[in-house]
Amino acid sequence: MEKIVEKLWPELNWIGNELLREKTAKTWELALMKSVLKPEDLYSIPFTLLCGPDLKVSFMAHKRCVVHAAKQCGEKMNEFFESDLPVNMDVLISGAILADVGKLLEYELDDEGKAVQGKYGKYLRHPFSGVSLAEEC
């Protein structure tokens, strides 16, 4: 599972703090173990179920874009504000990678392979399940 997460998230290497990097990866490993989704599904399911069937942006394309954007924002803030308002880049990147990890528990695939909100997701939405996964790790 570790190699799968590393393949999904090469951006983990941007986290300099080894313990935080490991815990971030472990959270994704745990989510994948608990999920009905396979890692390859993450490249085809939509990043949200709210935009209808025509949405072409996959979960992983969106997630990785968010991580890259967060990194660039943090770097710019550190450039402009320096020590007056420092951004901990390790925490920022870990948080961006972990955002929406709970969707792996919220989504299910229907009989046609289309992503839908599952029973678990109807009762516990992904922000809460994601925090629970991260807290466990």
pLDDT at 44 over 90: no
Q: Kindly report the average pLDDT of the chain as a whole number.
A: 89
Work out the average pLDDT over 84-110: 93
Structure tokens at 46: 């939509």
Work out the average pLDDT over 33-37: 92
pLDDT at 51 over 80: no
β-strand partners of 109: 115
Return the pLDDT at 127. 74
Return the pLDDT at 41. 93
More confident residue, 52 or 110: 110
Model confidence over 70-83: pLDDT tens digits? 999 999 999 999 99
**Rounded Cα distance, 137 and 132, in Å:** 9
Q: Which residues of 3-14 are buried (b: 16+ CB within 10 A; e: fewer)?
A: eebeebbebbeb
pTM: 0.88
How large is the C-alpha radius of gyration of the chain? 16
Confidence of residue 1 (pLDDT cuts 50, 70, 90): low
